[in-house]
Structure 1
Amino acid sequence: MTAVVKHATRKPLEITNATAEQARARNSRLREQFPPRTAERWWSQTAQSSEETLRHLTAPPFLPAANGTRAGRRRGVTKLLHWLSSQPGDTWQQRWMATGAEGLCGAAWVELPQRWLSERGPSPSHDREDLTSGLLMLICGDVIRPALPWMLTRTHRYLASVMAEVRDPDGFARLHQLAAAGPASSRKDAQIAATRIATLLACKGGRIGDITVGDCVELVDNQRRVHARGGQKKVDFYLRLRAMGIFPEDAPATIRAFGLALGQLSIEELVDRYPIQSQPVRDVIVDYLRERQPSLDFASLDAISRTLAGLFWARIEALSPGIDSLRLPPAVALAWKDDLKVKKRAVVGSDGKSVEVTSPRLNAKDELMRVRAFYLDIAQWAAEEPARWGPWAVPCPISDDEIHKAKERKRRKARMDQRTRERLPVLPILVSTTDRRRREAAGLLQAAGDTEPGALIPGTGGALRRAIAPKAAGHLIWAEEISSGRRRNLTYEEEEAFWAFATIEVLRLTGVRNEELLELTHHSVTQYRLPSTGEVVPLLQIAPSKTDTERLLLVSPGLADVLSAIISRLRGLSGAVPLVAAYDVREKVWNPPMPLLFQRGIGSEHRAFTPTAIRKLLINALAATGLTNADGEALSFSPHDFRRIFVTDAIMNGLPPHIAQVICGHKNIDTTIGYKAVYPVETIEAHRAFIARRRASRPSEEYRIPTEEEWDAFLAHFEKRKVSIGTCARAFGSPCIHEHACVRCSLLRPDPAQRARLAEIRDNLIARIAEAEREGWLGEVEGLQISLAGAEEKLRQLDRGHGQHTAVDLGIPTTRGDR
């Protein structure tokens, strides 16, 4: 029912979509590099006579095995040729265009020849079916080539199969072999892709090997224009053609590079986004940005252009029409500064009317700093090039006092500290809930996969049953709620739960930025061999991002578990992580294909996660926890919150700030100290106290080669760590703070083999507590309860760690030269 509604709501061909026109203008250089084939006006098949065309289309390979089908196609071709012969033109293509049939969507074109034939004689009841079969023969026989927009409004049940028989048997055979080598769940996608490819042959002529990258781009542009359905299936055909090797090597890895991403704009295009009336001022802004372009990345260049052209000069012209000088009248400058302090946006009220709402602009001083830099740079350049910049060197309307940000920095620090204080205590809840959600989703998907369609899913208490979805993609498993009848995509739920878990774990265990998370690849997992012991240490290589500084992070056991789960999930049949071409949303460029760790399959294409997708994962994960803030609203986490929590937690647990600075990749230690949710004085004092304690505990005379007696004492200390229920992890030379009450000590690492002994100790403590309460020995109850709590915690620690530390081969990747 849904598909019928979507099909019925398509807009007529003459109504164009503005976004389609914008898409054609995007990535003009790439489109110029890969143009589509131009429509031919003449070719041999369309210039044949009526007798030659009929003879050609009723001879092999146009003869189907079924007699009824063969007769119907012959009748249809005869009637269509008779109808087209009445139209003006020298070729069948010209006559077809003269009919105006392509002005009618879908199957409505049949009414034109049917009406013409009925006026000239009796109309059999099967005229409509014959005409449709006849048109299929004319198209597959390359007699006529309809336009792409019109072809996309029609259904083509037999187009691919007939094209495979009469036009390009070898090409479609290779396409079929490619589909057979893929998973069985993608067979339906392969059929749709074959129809898209056959549509290109119908409209452009030739064979599959003649299809160009530009032809595919033109098809996708027209799909957007006529709202053709299919989702990812709209572009799946491009991936299959590229896999067949018919495109050049420099063809983009995905067709989305031609329209779904804006690409880098030139400086003129960045400035001309805003209606600047004064051409001289517009030109000086362009020249200024061009001067600064070599030292800026595209994101910074984009931000400065928005400030100078949009927030600054476009608003100055609105306040003072006709102004053409950077020397601003004091009244105009003051009005602009007041206007800059607030943001205005239109919202729809409860009555349906649009209302303008204002809010403070938090980065107003940042915008002022960019404008002030604009004036000061021009003044400095005027001394070096007076002829070029001298006419524009005027007093800056923004004083130095107006851009002081000490108070704003304190307020921002207070806001960020408050966010960290709210989120740090509840992080364990988020982590445990996300892990439980992942396990439950995986178990439900496994149970549903083992259940026959229509049967109840075990373990759901009769609340869910395996849904019967014959039109769903083969790799998806659907369930239906018994009470409400609502359908649930269990495959999607499991995928979302897993990636939410992986995102949260990697962010909290590494403290990386969001863009660094999305740039992690299989090659990021590396190793280092300690020269002293020869031990191999796993490391995670963080690619340069914000500070253009590469760094290495130590992979903890927990992080290793998460990375191994990600890599195991992504590995295909070949054992390699798929290569994905990702779009950099900041730099507006496509990166080369890389084995990204954060990628997912959409249809038959692997796509990299985007920042928006990461935010959605966090929102859904937090919704499952039910956590709220002090105002009772749903608590939100941004990817950067995990970075601040990581720094705060590390420094609070004794990590020196300068080490945290290196781990986080900060250029300035003040940035690292600012991330910790405490006052800077407290951090500095804590750091100094740490250094003083280290100097006191490690006097200079100890930094020498130890004697044999000292080394034997050191080794003997570790031999004394072994106790009946595990191993003591206290530092060398430190006394036991619990007076050898090991079951209470947090430094005890219980041995899984001694779980039975721990359970026996717990049961004995319970019995002793009961005896003490019964006999009135209240002095012993409190101490026994502390010991009982310690024993139960050790048992829970063993249960949590059970099965989570199995060795997994991460598959250290090799360079291309080593393969």
Structure 2
Amino acid sequence: MTTTTIGLQTPRTWQVSSEAQALMEKFPPRLVFGAWPRTRESRVVLEGRMAVAPFRGDDSQSRCHRKASLQAVLDWLELYPGQSWQQRWQATGAGRDGQRDWRLQVLADLATAGLLDRHPGYARKILGTGLIQLIGGDYLRPSVGWLMATASPLRIANEMAKVRDPDGIAELRTARLAGTVGDSTMIPAIEKIALVMAAKGGLVCNVTIGDCLELMRISREVFPGPTRSGRHSPVFYQLLHSTGLFPADAPPTVRMFSPVFAGQVPVEQLVDRYQVTCRPVRDLLVEYLRERQPAIDYGTLTSLATTLVLWFWKDLERHHPGIDSLRLSPETASAWKQRIRTKVVRSRGADGEITETTVERDTATDALTTVRSFYLDLAQWALDDPGRWGQWAVPCPIRATDIQHKKMNSRRKARMDQRTRDRLPVLPALVEAVGRERKAAAGRLAAARAAQPGDTFTVDGVTLRLAQLARHSPRIWAEEPATGRRRDLIREEDNAFWAWAAVEVLRMTGVRVEELTELSHHSLVQYRTPATGELIPLLQIPPSKTDEERLLVISPELADVLSAIVCRIRNSDGSVPLVVAYDHHEKVWNPPIPLLFQRTIALEIRPIPIAGIRVLVSDALARTGLTDVTGKPLDFAPHDFRRIFTTDAIMNGMPPHIAQLLLGHKDINTTMGYKAVYPEEAINGHRAFIARRRGLRPSEEYRHPSDAEWDEFLGHFERRRLALGDCGRAYGTNCIHEHSCVRCPLLRVDPEQRHRLIEIRTNLTARIAEAEREGWLGEADGLRVSLAAAKEKLAQVDGAIQRREAAVNLGMPTFATIAGRNTAIDPADHRAAE
């Protein structure tokens, strides 16, 4: 075989998905014409129009300044040929490169023509005002790219609001004040809309979707590479979309045109992005991936391409220049396997010196398996189609012994089990922490909204001062009095709520994180049993990894969380907003659906992505200060909740095959691999030991109870009923607190008996006053203990009532109603059962 070099095209800086390409063809930008009526007007007519409102200045100094600058620019333009002011502008060549200062050319041309009658420094300062008058009057239409790159003129929106479209710009500024985005983002967005008006003409209502898309493309061409200044911000599109200026079929989100969401690319591009040198091998890799493509998803396809092209063949070309065959010598194969098993990690020490450490690569076994499958597939396909694949059927350099699946699985199992055991005990602390932080953040936000700028307020032990802002901001900023650091309380409350919601749903359902982000309002379904007519709330999990839907019973606790989420995201009319989500695995845009995990970003409602869920959980965990056994900060991945859910379910008696259905596993061994409990042999041995020990115990302990014993057992629960509620003492035990029920922690007060607690509290207060008056100090001390216990019980009752009233009724049965129905047994059914 001969080695040839592939001529690769330079990667485009503006690469969008096929869906975006179709939309760009559907919504093209407006054409820029070389001439229009206004630009053909004479200088006399132009100056006459500029001397009256709205172009005229507000005072004499402003009028003089605007007139002098306009005349200087007109004198310069008249030095160049053309039938219109636009043609003269194009003839100057100043509008071709916005990086150069066009004012230097103006000064040089005017000086050469003897028309520079002012000081060059003063003339340079006023030239921008003259040009912006011609742009606002629609005599000149510079290109969008030039307007974005030039340093003068700036702040075109102010001129457009004065002379071109006062109502349109005012509507945009009104939407800016009503939105949730600050001036630092919204003012540049309005400026971008003004740039489109300057380059294309017309009013704000004339700006089209194609104009916006063209502006975004030109922005990345003028300012290539990443930027933190917000130059590529799409808020201007969201602003126009929110004001209702676009048609109903407009793209719901401008993110569809971002190169970050490039969509699916052809197999050829997946291979060519790594610039393979050997053309025959490159063509083989393309054909192999195309052959595998129908049977795998796009995420697997990209992973397969990365492993075969980058980690395998490109690595061989880098270390063995000129290689052109899949038949590898033992030395070459051994060297590649050694490189793939290890990687070099660079770290910077305290002294600033960079050190390199060779560590074992976790994904080495997966890469070896992929390459081995590649060779074996070629050998198998060569038997079926020798003409196409026969020349590539060579011995596989990776033997079965090179891939130690059992050892790898054992290590992974041990690592995951240890990870689960470390996190299972701290899960209650994490749940309590995120719940406390959610309430504290909501309290700080409510206190800040009720305060005035400069006021201090304290919530949950944290003292803040409401910031005094120099300009408008829809956010609520508070300062720490000690350090002066500002905090966005709206963002803190939003992050705290969604961190709490993510943790609660993940731990109570065991769903995958991608399934969490795909939960929608349609996922809340109901099932009514045919026999009893009982209504059971269910959560429908969308298909993800196994492409199979499944249903989970919604517990009362989970119903409260889902209710809080729905109440937070719903519109004023009660509907849940439709959002467009991007499938990061298939690289496609999903249709608009009412997702549960959504939040407002700038002026657009967006779904919370998988990476966003990970960040929310990590930040919430960092605020708790929890550590692992080594003292390092503990980390929680979303998948850890799935393993903890499985372990907790099986340890509490759930049959493994039921857990398999709940988790959506195709193989029960996968479910058993999730549980971090003792091995099966230990469990069976322990159960056998218990059975042998039970056989040695007196048989009287396993006899059937008599009627008298059974009546005594039932009577125990009847005797626990008290005036204030129920006693929670264990069966067979007597009251050890001498019936001081108010002080007893086992008393469970019925909320309906709250008035009795108030009477007890009032009576105790009066008795304490009497004891102090009579000098009965011992009696007073005992009564104070009872009074404190009564107040504690009253607080518990108030908390239970508040939680019950705060819950939103979704038409689903609560735990109390379910328990009430289940305990109401018909006597006839009881006799039939006997």
Sort the TM-score into its range (normalised by shorter chain).
0.7 to 0.9
Q: CA 1:228 to 1:417, structure 2 compared with 1: closer, same or farther past 3 Å?
A: closer
Task: Check if 1:26 corresponds to 2:25.
Answer: no
Task: Please tell me the root mean square deviation across aligned C-alpha atoms, in Å.
Answer: 4.2
Aligned partner of 2:213 among 217, 226, 229: 217
Distance 2:254 2:809 in 1: 32
Q: Is the 8 A contact 1:168 1:207 kept in 2?
A: yes
Q: CA 1:460 to 1:664, structure 2 compared with 1: closer, same or farther past 3 Å?
A: closer
**How is 1:87-486 mapped onto 2 (pairs within 5 angstroms)?**
87-99=80-92, 101-102=94-95, 109-110=102-103, 112-113=105-106, 120-123=115-118, 131-153=127-149, 154=151, 159-160=156-157, 162-163=159-160, 166-167=163-164, 182-183=178-179, 192-224=188-220, 225-226=222-223, 231=230, 234-243=233-242, 247=246, 250-259=249-258, 260-350=260-350, 352=352, 354-459=354-459, 463-471=463-471, 473-474=473-474, 476-486=475-485
Question: Which segment is superposed worse, 598-607 or 746-755?
Answer: 746-755
Q: Is the 8 A contact 1:233 1:603 kept in 2?
A: no
Shift of residue 441, structure 1, vs aligned partner: 1.5
Task: Check if 1:647 corresponds to 2:646.
Answer: yes
Shift of residue 409, structure 1, vs aligned partner: 0.9
Distance 1:159 1:649 in 2: 63
Shift of residue 669, structure 1, vs aligned partner: 1.2
Distance 1:449 1:629 in 2: 38
Deviations 1:690-735 (A, max 9, x none): xx9xxxxxxxxxxxxxxxx9xxx9xx999959722546899xxxx9
Deviations 1:538-580 (A, max 9, x none): 2221111111111111111221221122222222333322222
Aligned partner of 1:78 among 68, 71, 80: 71
Distance 1:729 1:532 in 2: 34
Percent identity of the aligned residues?
47
Shift of residue 241, structure 1, vs aligned partner: 2.8
Q: What letter is aligned with 1:81?
A: L
Q: Is the 8 A contact 2:614 2:638 kept in 1?
A: yes
Which residues of structure 2 form unaligned runs of 5+? 1-9, 692-706, 765-788, 813-834
Q: Is the 8 A contact 1:31 1:214 kept in 2?
A: no
Deviations 1:38-90 (A, max 9, x none): 54334443344433443455567655776765665444333311111113555
Question: Which segment is superposed worse, 39-48 or 679-688?
Answer: 679-688
Deviations 1:143-170 (A, max 9, x none): 2222323323558776335435654567
Q: Is the 8 A contact 2:180 2:602 kept in 1?
A: no
Shift of residue 290, structure 1, vs aligned partner: 0.8
Distance 1:381 1:509 in 2: 47
Shift of residue 803, structure 1, vs aligned partner: 2.4
- Helix, strand or coil at the partner of 1:553: strand
- Helix, strand or coil at the partner of 1:537: strand
Q: What letter is aligned with 1:382?
A: A
Shift of residue 399, structure 1, vs aligned partner: 2.1
Query: What is the match of residue 723 of structure 1?
Result: 721
Task: Check if 1:665 corresponds to 2:664.
Answer: yes
- Helix, strand or coil at the partner of 1:358: strand
Query: What is the match of residue 596 of structure 1?
Result: 595
Q: Is the 8 A contact 2:508 2:645 kept in 1?
A: yes
Distance 1:104 1:235 in 2: 24
Distance 1:426 1:759 in 2: 41
Q: What letter is aligned with 1:576?
A: S
Distance 2:427 2:371 in 1: 41
Q: Is the 8 A contact 2:343 2:360 kept in 1?
A: yes
Query: What is the match of residue 824 of structure 2?
Result: none
Distance 1:289 1:802 in 2: 62
Shift of residue 535, structure 1, vs aligned partner: 3.1
Q: Is the 8 A contact 2:128 2:152 kept in 1?
A: no
Distance 2:461 2:115 in 1: 69
Shift of residue 361, structure 1, vs aligned partner: 1.4
Distance 1:593 1:281 in 2: 42
Shift of residue 635, structure 1, vs aligned partner: 0.7
Shift of residue 651, structure 1, vs aligned partner: 1.2
Shift of residue 508, structure 1, vs aligned partner: 0.8
Distance 1:595 1:166 in 2: 43
Deviations 1:443-474 (A, max 9, x none): 11111111111122255889421111233522
Q: What letter is aligned with 2:334?
A: L
Q: CA 1:642 to 1:47, structure 2 compared with 1: closer, same or farther past 3 Å?
A: same
- Helix, strand or coil at the partner of 1:24: coil
Question: Which segment is superposed worse, 165-174 or 610-619?
Answer: 165-174
Query: What is the match of residue 823 of structure 2?
Result: none
Q: Is the 8 A contact 2:720 2:728 kept in 1?
A: no
Q: Is the 8 A contact 2:580 2:606 kept in 1?
A: yes
Q: How many pairs were matched up?
A: 741
Query: What is the match of residue 543 of structure 1?
Result: 542
Q: CA 1:568 to 1:67, structure 2 compared with 1: closer, same or farther past 3 Å?
A: farther
Shift of residue 134, structure 1, vs aligned partner: 2.6
Distance 1:740 1:758 in 2: 24
Distance 1:27 1:275 in 2: 22
Distance 1:217 1:687 in 2: 68
- Helix, strand or coil at the partner of 2:14: helix
Q: CA 1:97 to 1:471, structure 2 compared with 1: closer, same or farther past 3 Å?
A: farther
Distance 2:719 2:541 in 1: 37
Q: CA 1:208 to 1:488, structure 2 compared with 1: closer, same or farther past 3 Å?
A: closer
**How is 1:752-791 mapped onto 2 (pairs within 5 angstroms)?**
752-753=751-752
Q: CA 1:263 to 1:113, structure 2 compared with 1: closer, same or farther past 3 Å?
A: same
Q: Is the 8 A contact 1:264 1:589 kept in 2?
A: yes
Distance 2:290 2:610 in 1: 29
Deviations 1:10-43 (A, max 9, x none): xxxxxxxxxx985413336624641544543344
Distance 2:530 2:181 in 1: 50
Query: What is the match of residue 6 of structure 1?
Result: none
Q: What letter is aligned with 1:218?
A: E
Distance 1:646 1:792 in 2: 37
Shift of residue 189, structure 1, vs aligned partner: 6.4
Distance 1:645 1:78 in 2: 77
Distance 1:495 1:233 in 2: 25
Shift of residue 249, structure 1, vs aligned partner: 5.1
Q: What letter is aligned with 2:15?
A: A
Distance 1:320 1:128 in 2: 61
Q: CA 1:195 to 1:456, structure 2 compared with 1: closer, same or farther past 3 Å?
A: same
Distance 1:759 1:621 in 2: 43
- Helix, strand or coil at the partner of 2:490: helix
